[in-house]
Amino acid sequence: MRQSDALYLDACATSPPAAEVLAAMAAVDRDAWANPSSLHGFGLCAAESLERSRLRLAELLGCEGEELLFSSGGSESIHLALLGVAAALPPGRLLISAVEHSATRAAAERLRCSGWDVQVVPVNHLGQVDAAALQLLLAPPTRLVSLIWGQSEVGTLQDLERLGGLCRSAGVLLHVDAVQVVGHQPVQFQALPVDLMSLTAHKLQGPRGIGALLVRRGLPLHPLIGGGGQERGRRGGTEPVALAAGMARALELAHARLSDHDGSDPVAALRDQLLESLLAVNGVELTGPDPRAGQARLPHHLSVLVSDRCGRPLAGRALVRALWCEGIAASSGSACSAAGPAASAVLLAIGVPAERAGSGLRLSLGPWLEPTDLQLVAPALERAIDHLSA
């Protein structure tokens, strides 16, 4: 299968960089390529470009420029948020949900090894955090909570206002993984009951290798990477000026799409069209929230369980390979856990039986798609199921 002929439905893993993003990066690489810490004219030009990108991102995200620091991506931002804040606190309890990204689980395990008590807050069958359980666990010695806002495998959107309000009332710091949310709905950091927020560029048609962490003003944060004191002493290393410009341009494009559609992501209409066609295929079952019932779900995300013609669960990874032979690029779950066990920890957490928790298929969309493209997906899935059933 030639990539140029394939249909890309794996935006939650990464997204193709927009032409405008590539152009913005090329211009910076040409005109502002120097080290932004250098004091000569070349360095000052690079520093100006970097700060323009920072201020533009801050404007679009509803925070101050000094509250935004650049990182290499979502995983680093998550680690910096949890480990950097914890380093300024006495050991206590960290709460994470049962459907967190593997980066959050890894950072939590490092804190456990440092003497922190890590507890997992349960979720319901839709992947929504149990607010009553969270409230009970917010009692001392809980000092820090980390929640994923938009779940990457089953598409669940948490009620951030409610959950964040509980943390605020208890005086507990809250970090939010917003990697899958930014670019798909308006975000105003300072208006949210949140203390830290992680995001990345490549999920919204920006470049790989850059992300950001938003940190509430005045919150102590110890760096994970020392060195030259960049990012206000919170992350050492020469900043990637061109990548920052690409990230800012990507968020501008996403923000423009939202503004043109009254704050809603227009890809949701394509998602709903695809959902209807997929559920007409025998052996396909939706996981996570159902947008047809008004349940909150990432607008660009679908996830299903798939069985063969005899009702037996099909391996998600086998489905991904079979769909690629049909010209469809999809995923069996989080790309960051592609080397992990077949059964998804997230599907197990929402109550999917173990024998079916390896049959998940994720299809995630973006603005490069047209309605006619999606007419090809359900027939391709039918053929893939027939092939694997045989």
Q: What is the mean pLDDT of residues 331-351?
A: 73
Q: What is the mean pLDDT of residues 165-176?
A: 98
pLDDT level of residue 4 (50, 70, 90 thresholds)? low
Q: How far is CA 301 from CA 156, 264, 311, in A?
A: 9, 14, 25
DSSP helix/strand/coil, 179: coil
* Contact between 171 and 140 (Cβ < 8 Å): no
Euclidean distance between CA atoms 346 and 348, whole angstroms: 5
Tell me which of 337 and 348 has the higher pLDDT: 348
pLDDT level of residue 2 (50, 70, 90 thresholds)? low
The class level of CATH for 19-258 reads alpha beta
Q: What is the mean pLDDT of residues 317-332?
A: 96
DSSP helix/strand/coil, 212: strand
Q: What is the mean pLDDT of residues 288-301?
A: 98
pLDDT of residue 111 exceeding 50, the answer is yes
The overall average pLDDT reported for the chain is: 95
pLDDT of residue 340 exceeding 70, the answer is no
pTM: 0.95
> Phi, psi at residue 49, to the nearest 5°?
-60, -45
Q: What is the mean pLDDT of residues 24-34?
A: 97
pLDDT of residue 104 exceeding 60, the answer is yes
pLDDT of residue 97 exceeding 70, the answer is yes
pLDDT of residue 341 exceeding 50, the answer is no
Name the helix (H) or strand (E) containing 342.
none
pLDDT level of residue 91 (50, 70, 90 thresholds)? very high
Nearest to residue 199, comparing CAs of 1, 367, 60, 91?
60
pLDDT of residue 334 exceeding 80, the answer is no
The encoded tokens of residue 27 equal 């211009």
Euclidean distance between CA atoms 362 and 177, whole angstroms: 19
Q: Where are the domains of the chain?
A: 3-16+264-389, 19-258
pLDDT level of residue 332 (50, 70, 90 thresholds)? very high
Euclidean distance between CA atoms 196 and 168, whole angstroms: 13
What are the catalytic residues? 336
* Contact between 248 and 239 (Cβ < 8 Å): no
DSSP state of 31: H
pLDDT level of residue 23 (50, 70, 90 thresholds)? very high
The string of pLDDT tens digits covering residues 177-217 is 999 999 999 999 999 999 999 999 999 999 999 999 999 99
pLDDT at 5: 78
pLDDT of residue 230 exceeding 80, the answer is yes
pLDDT at 219: 97
Name the helix (H) or strand (E) containing 294.
none
pLDDT at 1: 53
Asked if 3-16+264-389 and 19-258 have one fold, the answer is no
Name the helix (H) or strand (E) containing 93.
strand 93-97
pLDDT at 339: 41
pLDDT of residue 337 exceeding 50, the answer is no
- CATH architecture for residues 3-16+264-389: Alpha-Beta Complex (3.90)
pLDDT of residue 15 exceeding 60, the answer is yes
Return the percentage of the chain with pLDDT > 90, whole number. 94
